A and B are shown apart, each in its own frame.
Chain A
């Protein structure tokens, strides 16, 4: 799993350097300007802010005497994460286009400690790392042809589509464990041993962004997108009647090469 992640990151890094080298090798000339509807290939990275939705199921960490008890989303608090990967944009014309993003997402979902019985249980935290594929359509609100010849704001766009979880890489759960029926809880850490409990998460993703020319073919992109999960994190075959899921807001920056 880690090897796949490193290969993807190395590809991203190599692509960034190759695009940069390409840009510097040829001095910009009128004939060498990028097309206003040219395909863009780039890399993208950014931070996530996550929020849990619905009830997190009771889990047992290790040899815990009992489960953590179902946890309402009212205990939920903002979590964090990040994602990075390759970014492809295929403009149909100067107004609309399609974007595809392939990458790795790490999301940490957090809950506040449950109070009661004279003590606080350790806070729950779920960390999930997944391979993601996002497919979306982009509509340009602003399109500045002149900026394609050099530096400056080229497009401002709205985007909407789907963010698909295509594979689980790693997971980690932090929360309370109980030695026996009378003992107080102690903080424990564990992991689901395999990807069996997890569904392939599907989220509707909508947002807005801008692309800035850096001179010639190189472009910088800035994007904010909200992903609204459409299905539960855990399969109904592993836990009864549970629809726990989480949404996220991604703030991303990218560097691309426009042909």
Chain B
């Protein structure tokens, strides 16, 4: 009885496993496109920073923060786009923030439209990530410098200064990876004080949260982090 049942079941199981391992359609790296003239591509930048738009690995344009533009194509064949947020420079001329380049792949739509927001980013390994920009309002007596994701895998220590009585620029804001341990540390430049904002802080005004206001939807802006 046992033998008979197993003789019945094992061959069928084997067929399923065989189909899975050998039956996969072998894709080719050669790109197939339709013999159609592609018309245009529209990019809608939702970030609070300019983004570089690439077409076939060459820079096509720099799209300012919170701007939408349409670029004509008018040709056949494979057209590939990518984009990358442009980080501001800190006081020593180094980039403050991450600049992940996201490949959008081959465009097949005759008129394509892409929304570039804080949730449509891929890092160097091709993994989907979310980015954010801390909105800092410095009402303290000293300038503060920005450190993000302190002591986590995504740590970025910058010399990006937020002067006293000023906020982060909303047209060229620095972006960072958002993870479960994300935090913002603001250190006084000429002092010993620092201010820490974490996602787990329960004190009012100290918690690091993304602003869900529809006006800034997709920008990845946090609720105001106030230094006073």
Contact = CB atoms under 8 A, between A and B. Distances in A.
Contacts of B36: 57, 238-240
A191 B31 contact: yes
A255 B27 contact: no
Interface in A40-83: 43, 45, 57-63, 66-69, 82
Nearest to B9: A20
Contacts of B108: 192, 194, 196-197, 238
Nearest to A5: B20
Contacts of A240: 36, 110
A59 B33 contact: yes
A60 B77 CA distance: 7
B11 to A, nearest CB: 10
A221 to B, nearest CB: 12
Interface of B: 1-2, 5-6, 8-10, 12-17, 19-21, 23-36, 76-78, 105-106, 108-111
Contacts of B105: 193-194, 196
A169 to B, nearest CB: 7
Interface stretch (A6-14, A31-39, A134-142, A223-231): A6-14
Interface residues of A, number: 60
Residue among B1, B8, B9, B111 facing the most chain A CB atoms (10 A cut-off): B9
- Describe B's contact surface by its main secondary structure: mixed
B70 to A, nearest CB: 16
Nearest to A24: B5
A171 interface: yes
A146 interface: no
A190 B35 contact: no
A23 interface: yes
A131 interface: no
A237 B110 contact: yes
A238 B110 contact: yes
Contacts of A59: 32-35
A9 B33 contact: no
A95 interface: no
**Interface residues of A: mostly helix, strand, loop or mixed?**
mixed
A60 B30 CA distance: 10
24 contacts: A2-B24, A12-B13, A12-B16, A14-B13, A17-B13, A27-B1, A43-B16, A45-B12, A57-B36, A60-B32, A66-B35, A84-B15, A169-B24, A170-B24, A172-B26, A188-B30, A190-B28, A191-B27, A192-B31, A196-B108, A197-B108, A237-B109, A237-B110, A238-B108
Contact of B25 (A67, A106, A237): A106
A172 B19 CA distance: 17
Given A24-B5, A193-B105, A255-B9, A173 B32 contact: yes
Contacts of A127: 25
Given A16-B13, A192-B32, A255 B23 contact: no
A171 B27 CA distance: 6
B28 A189 contact: yes
B121 to A, nearest CB: 18
Contact of A190 (B6, B10, B32): B32
Query: Max chain B CB contacts within 10 Å: which of A12, A45, A58, A188?
Result: A12
A159 interface: no
A129 interface: yes
A104 B17 CA distance: 13
B32 A10 contact: no
B34 A9 contact: no
A106 B10 CA distance: 23
A156 to B, nearest CB: 22
A59 B106 CA distance: 14
Contact of B30 (A58, A61, A82): A61
A64 to B, nearest CB: 9
Contacts of B2: 24
Contacts of A45: 12, 15-16, 19
Contact of A171 (B1, B16, B25, B29): B25
Contacts of B109: 196, 235, 237-238
B16 A16 contact: yes
Contact of A191 (B1, B6, B19, B30): B30
Contact of B19 (A62, A82, A255): A82
Nearest to B18: A9
The 3 closest A-B pairs by CB, nearest first: A67-B35, A9-B20, A20-B9
Contacts of B21: 6, 9
